């Protein structure tokens, strides 16, 4: 875009973004699920240049509180793409619930929060459409599997084309009951990816093609197939050495008929129950057999994705 525009002074927006779990077993770098755990951010335009950030909840005292903050960087990327002539001063307050470094899409949530805030700040000036938001988020994150469900909610299939990222959003069967087990240990996505080989045997690739196709059917129509549908040969075994307890618990849970997988890059693990009772069974097994402390998050599938309350609506809210 070439038009030079400005963000109206005094504007503010509030954004809510869900956690996500990517891969879901066999759907490496393509499948993602939005979950009912949220980061919330309020962004205000201020007269002073630069940015200030305050954080409550996860990341308080740890994340950057200036222009290097990931949410701020994403706001500025969205404004820049829209053609904002001069970056405004920003005041940002975040209330975070998504764990960092545990495979629940915290960086994707931060990027999506910033881009959605930019969209809200530009309400009535210029529109950042869904395709643009996905493209910018993918550029910042590096791949679309987490940013797509964070943006759009539900189950998403994301892929790359010559023109950029694309996605398809699907509704999940109401019988699917997710639970995420979060350890105290963290693991960087970069390290997890470094453990994977450059190529895999043809039979393993064919195996995952069949399972990922089956997984889509299981999630939208036949939850009773989730155990078979979540088998994987492309990434989890290669990453197991970096999270041995996660790997051991996944093996135990699957032996008990539960569809357990690594959540994203880990080390959290996700169980996709075919009914709510399976979540309680999983929680009992992890409580009795886990060597360290694991926090069980009984979650629902988020259906709405990222939401933004724009300036005009905030102004109408009672003080």
Spell out the SS3 assignment of 88-108: CEEEEEEEECCCCCCCCCHHH
Phi, psi of 72 (to 5 degrees): -60, -45
What is the rounded distance in angstroms from the CA atom of residue 268 to the CA atom of residue 20?
12
Which regions of the chain are under pLDDT 70? 1-3, 311-319
* Per-residue pLDDT at 315: 60
Contact, 286 vs 168, CB < 8 A? no
Rounded to an integer, what is the distance from CA 146 to the centroid of its chain? 4
| Residues 6 or more apart whose Cβ sits within 8 Å of residue 139 | none
pTM: 0.94
* Per-residue pLDDT at 1: 43
Alpha helices in 102-180 (DSSP H): 106-121, 130-141, 147-152
* Per-residue pLDDT at 155: 98
Contact, 172 vs 192, CB < 8 A? no
Closest CA to 176 of 274, 296, 254, 260: 274
∠ CA 158-161-165, nearest 5°, is 45
Place of tokens 């690739």: 205
Strand order in the sheet with 260-262: 260-262, 269-273, 177-183, 294-298
* Per-residue pLDDT at 193: 74
What is the rounded distance in angstroms from the CA atom of residue 21 to the CA atom of residue 275?
19
State yes or no: cis peptide before 310, omega within 30 of 0.
no
Q: What is the largest CA-CA distance in the chain?
A: 61
């Amino acid at each position: 875009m070439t038009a030079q525009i400005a963000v109206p002074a005094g504007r503010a927006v509030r954004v809510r973004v869900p956690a996500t779990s990517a891969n879901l077993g066999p759907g490496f770098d393509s499948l993602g699920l939005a979950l009912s755990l949220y980061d919330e951010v309020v962004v205000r335009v201020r007269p002073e240049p630069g940015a200030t950030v305050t954080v409550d909840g996860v990341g308080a005292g740890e994340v950057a509180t200036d222009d290097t903050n990931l949410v701020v960087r994403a706001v500025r990327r969205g404004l820049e793409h829209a053609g904002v002539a001069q970056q405004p001063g920003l005041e940002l307050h975040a209330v975070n619930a998504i764990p960092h470094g545990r495979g629940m899409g915290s960086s994707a949530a931060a990027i999506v929060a910033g881009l959605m805030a930019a969209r809200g700040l530009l309400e009535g000036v210029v529109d950042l459409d869904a395709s643009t938001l996905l493209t910018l988020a993918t550029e910042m994150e590096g791949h679309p599997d987490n940013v797509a469900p964070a943006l759009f909610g539900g189950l998403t299939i994301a892929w790359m084309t010559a023109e950029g990222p694309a996605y398809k959003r699907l509704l999940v069967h109401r019988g699917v009951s997710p639970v995420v087990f979060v350890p105290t240990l963290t693991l960087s996505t970069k390290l997890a990816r470094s453990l994977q080989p450059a190529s895999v045997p043809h039979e393993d690739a064919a195996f995952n093609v069949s399972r990922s196709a089956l997984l889509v059917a299981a999630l939208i129509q036949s939850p009773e197939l989730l155990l078979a549908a979540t088998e994987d040969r492309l990434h989890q075994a290669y990453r197991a050495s970096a999270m041995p307890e996660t790997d051991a618990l996944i093996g135990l849970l699957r032996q008990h008929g539960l569809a357990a997988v690594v959540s994203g890059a880990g080390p959290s693990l996700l169980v996709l129950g075919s009914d709510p009772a399976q979540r309680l069974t999983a929680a009992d097994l992890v409580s009795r057999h886990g060597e360290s402390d694991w926090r069980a998050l009984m979650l629902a599938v988020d259906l709405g994705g990222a939401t933004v309350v724009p300036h005009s609506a905030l102004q109408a809210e009672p003080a």
